[in-house]
Structure 1
Amino acid sequence: MASTVSTAGARVLRWFGVDDPWERPAPPIGRSDVLLAVVIGVFGLFTLELVRSVGPLEDVGYPWGVQWLAVASGAALLVGRRRWPLTVAALAAGHMLVVGIAMPMVMGQFTMQVIYFVAIMSGVAWARDRRWMLVVVGIIVVVMFVWIALQFVVGTALQDIVDDAQGGKRFGVFGPVPAAVLLTVLINVVYFGGALITGRNLWSSARQTAILTAQADTITAQADELRTRAVTEERLRIARELHDVVAHHVSVIGIQAAAARRVMGRDPEAAGQALEGIEGSSREAVTSMRGLLGTLREVERVRGDGAEADRAPQPTLADLPALVESFTTPTRQAGFDLVESEPGVAQHLPAALAHSIHRTVQEALTNVEKHSTASRVSVVLRVEERVDGFAEVEVVDDGRPRPGTSGSGLGQLGIRERAASHRGTVEVGPRSNGGYRVRVRYPWGTGAETAVPEPDSRTAGLRSVS
């Protein structure tokens, strides 16, 4: 028996959230609180006068000013029902007791019952200390039922019932006295029980809303952190590429300048060739720096894993055919096509731009492999060399999204970051006739002179793989 009582008590405590660590914030008194008290107070005074006009208040032994004060003071308690919930609940209970003893007809008015109900309900709904709430509300309920019992035992309630019974005449299944007692108890159980249950449900709803809001804020913060981390890592990677590109060109410039200085007096032609090499290397270095420095703003974090920078040769356009071919499987065909305005134009692309094109294709193909049911993938690189020339890479597949493989979007973010480093434009999305397209266009030859390097043996003969 003791175990059953203990279990029931634990459930009640848990239901009221006694041991819950969440604490409902106490809002300041607002306009809505004052407006509620004013509306209920005015309505209560109006209904009080309506009842007085009917006649039941003529036996109240207090003047109308005291009656008005009782209604107005009860309504005024509701102003602080959210700020000081337990204090208001206790004061409302005391108000009910005092007015009920002195002016029971005033206390029994509908508006006064609404005031007491809202006060007790708010005490349960807004209390920060749940254990202290149970103590205060428990005392209120016990006191109220003791008061009701005393009314029947030592008060005039039973006598009034007997007097109204008209000589013991029975009108229904129950006798007048037990029926009146049971009806009074039932009404008060519903009244106070409804206040407790409603207040607890409001508290539980607010708790659930707060938890969901906190979870949403956490998810948003984590998503922002992942996005920021992806951008930071991409910028750091570009910084390493910038270091490699600039260091290479600066080293070449230093060697060629030293050679020119040594032969300037005795071999002007050789000195001129060295200076020409310096000019070409400096232009290509400046072009690379202009593109890469645009994405290296406000880097606030650095890698802390101690990993050393990748010293492997950076991939170029010559590696694209092999990259595309590596994505061919027994169930998927991958093809590559190079379209040039003139033969060999692709060999003139700056190294940084060629590297970004390679990485863009690699990321797009990886997304196809992870998230698509495609059976065929087409990679097309278009290069046109002129004043408003461009290099455009397009990756198109014929598949549908694979169920359960929704990505984080960081791959597409990396593609956009690379395009932004070269002032390029990105078009990513499904095609109207099925499949998916990733198209990135990089401007090239926007009026600046571009150094034309010697043909690279690795890019010689680059045309198509399918």
Structure 2
Amino acid sequence: MADLEDWQRPGPSARQRRADVAIGLGVVAAALLYVMLARSSGRLVWGVERSAYEHLAFAFAITIPLVWRRRYPDVVLVVTAVVFIAGQVREAQEVQFAAGAIFAAIYCEGAWGRDHGRARWLRIGVIGAMFAWLAVAWLLAVDGLPADAFPDGTGELPPLLSALISQVLLNVLIFGFAYFFGEIAWLSARREAVLVGQAEQLQRARAVAEEQAVVTERLRIARELHDVVAHHVSVMGIHAAAARRAMDRNVETARDSLTSVEESARTAVDELQRMLGALRTSDEPVTAPSPGVERVEELLDRVREAGLTPQFAVFGDAVPLPVSTSQTAYRIVQEAVTNALKHAGASTVDVRIRYLTRELEIDVADDGRGATTKVGGMGLIGMRERVGLLDGTVETGNRTGDTGGFRVRARLPLMTTVAK
């Protein structure tokens, strides 16, 4: 939650409001019954005879606000405090239920007050007013006390002081516990709200992560399908065209071209089966790994059979590569060569792999039409995505100079990739 200081506890639910009504009315009935029993037994706290209506009225007025104690805690606290003091001024207040009512009102204000800052000061004000009234009541009582007011006092302290201290301690305990428990209830509700909010955020984050994982997996599958299908189908198409042209003139050449078509088709089917098998059994390891940089020469051999003259060179000291880096390097070469076959009308392609200090550089250049290459095609988009996953860089564009053609240069970090 953004700002806990501004958090407001939600009001009571319909079920809680019904419970408040039932409990409040039960307390009202019990208070009225207690007043009747006290009058009948002569156990009046104040020792002053008031009419039954006044006793019952104060007992009703001090307890009936409890029906709305959680719905309108501010109003209930103020009303209860006013009735409490008024009943004591009139010496007609029943003490036991009245003390319980003021305790509940202070507690509910702390636990359910909408504005916690206001609730804090309202409780402090009411408690201060209670102690102020206690001081006034004692001052008034002291003036009217006879000399033998405490005939049974046998303690070490003066009787009047002892009575005053006991009253103060009793009120401190009542009001202190009411304030403390209300504060604890509010803090507990706030912590619960924070936990609920965090749980909702985690659920939303998990939903977003799951959705992102699905999107990422779809992109990965799309890249794999494009790399596998586009390359092999392009090679098959070139060999099929060569076979068609050579069918009537050179049967042996046509047979070789058709054999290459067959091999490319088998390779494409094998790789598709590997991918589909991995999708169906995600918990099992893929038996046929994706080709890596060590199979670039095999790729170029197939390109040579398709009529494109490849040149291949490796510079620097070869180092062991992580699987992801090796596969990405192979796919970059495969995509660049496929583009040279399909779109550029190239006759030669130059592939160079450089093992630099901190990077693996893949440089593929052809002598085709260059600008007509589909720079924004799905293959180059997938290439950039693959390189981006390894925190690498890729450059694509027309070659400068008289040779013309198109160039792809990618750099994959070695140390960063190994750390991963």
Question: TM-score under structure 1 normalisation?
Answer: 0.49
Superposed displacement of residue 146, structure 1: 1.9
1:295–1:45 CA distance, 2 compared to 1 (3 A): farther
Say yes or no: does 1:122 pair with 2:105.
Answer: no
Superposed displacement of residue 60, structure 1: 5.0
1:63–1:278 CA distance, 2 compared to 1 (3 A): farther
Does the CA contact (< 8 Å) of 1:29 and 1:83 recur in 2?
Answer: no
1:99–1:268 CA distance, 2 compared to 1 (3 A): farther
The one-letter code of the counterpart of 1:194 is F
CA distance in 2, matches of 1:248, 1:97: 93
Give the aligned partner of residue 175 of structure 1: 158
Give the aligned partner of residue 27 of structure 1: 11
Cα deviations by residue, 1:228-278 (Å, 9 ceiling, x for unpaired): 555544543333222211111220222123123323455677657655654
Superposed displacement of residue 136, structure 1: 1.5
Say yes or no: does 1:263 pair with 2:263.
Answer: no
Does the CA contact (< 8 Å) of 1:92 and 1:116 recur in 2?
Answer: yes
Give the aligned partner of residue 431 of structure 1: none
Give the aligned partner of residue 42 of structure 1: 26
CA distance in 2, matches of 1:164, 1:293: 103
Give the aligned partner of residue 99 of structure 1: 87
Aligned residue runs from structure 1 range 32-71, under 5 A? 32-46=16-30, 47-48=33-34, 49-56=36-43, 61-64=50-53, 67-68=55-56, 70-71=58-59
1:213–1:294 CA distance, 2 compared to 1 (3 A): farther
Superposed displacement of residue 291, structure 1: 6.3
Out of 169, 182, 187, the position equivalent to 1:186 is: 169
Does the CA contact (< 8 Å) of 1:24 and 1:128 recur in 2?
Answer: yes
Instruction: Find the residue that maps to 1:82 and give its secondary structure.
Output: coil
Cα deviations by residue, 1:277-326 (Å, 9 ceiling, x for unpaired): 54664565466557647999xxxxxxxxxxxxxxxx9339989xxxxxxx
User: Would you say how many aligned residue pairs link Structure 1 and Structure 2?
Assistant: 283
Give the aligned partner of residue 69 of structure 2: 81
Question: TM-score under structure 2 normalisation?
Answer: 0.54
Does the CA contact (< 8 Å) of 2:25 and 2:67 recur in 1?
Answer: no
1:112–1:294 CA distance, 2 compared to 1 (3 A): farther
Give the aligned partner of residue 203 of structure 1: 186
Cα deviations by residue, 1:149-183 (Å, 9 ceiling, x for unpaired): 222223xx3367538726x6643333333232222
The one-letter code of the counterpart of 2:70 is R
**Greater RCO (Cα-Cα under 8 Å, separation 6 or more):** 1
Instruction: Give me the identity figure in percent.
Output: 33
Out of 142, 150, 163, the position equivalent to 1:158 is: 142
Superposed displacement of residue 194, structure 1: 1.7
1:82–1:279 CA distance, 2 compared to 1 (3 A): farther
Gaps of 5+ in 2: 280-289, 297-321, 327-420
1:126–1:69 CA distance, 2 compared to 1 (3 A): same
Give the aligned partner of residue 324 of structure 1: none
Does the CA contact (< 8 Å) of 1:38 and 1:75 recur in 2?
Answer: no
1:89–1:69 CA distance, 2 compared to 1 (3 A): same
Give the aligned partner of residue 99 of structure 2: 113
Out of 135, 147, 150, the position equivalent to 2:133 is: 147
The one-letter code of the counterpart of 2:245 is R
Gaps of 5+ in 1: 1-18, 297-312, 320-357, 363-466
Between Structure 1 and Structure 2, which shows a larger proportion of helix residues? 2
Does the CA contact (< 8 Å) of 2:9 and 2:113 recur in 1?
Answer: no
Superposed displacement of residue 130, structure 1: 3.4
Superposed displacement of residue 122, structure 1: 1.8
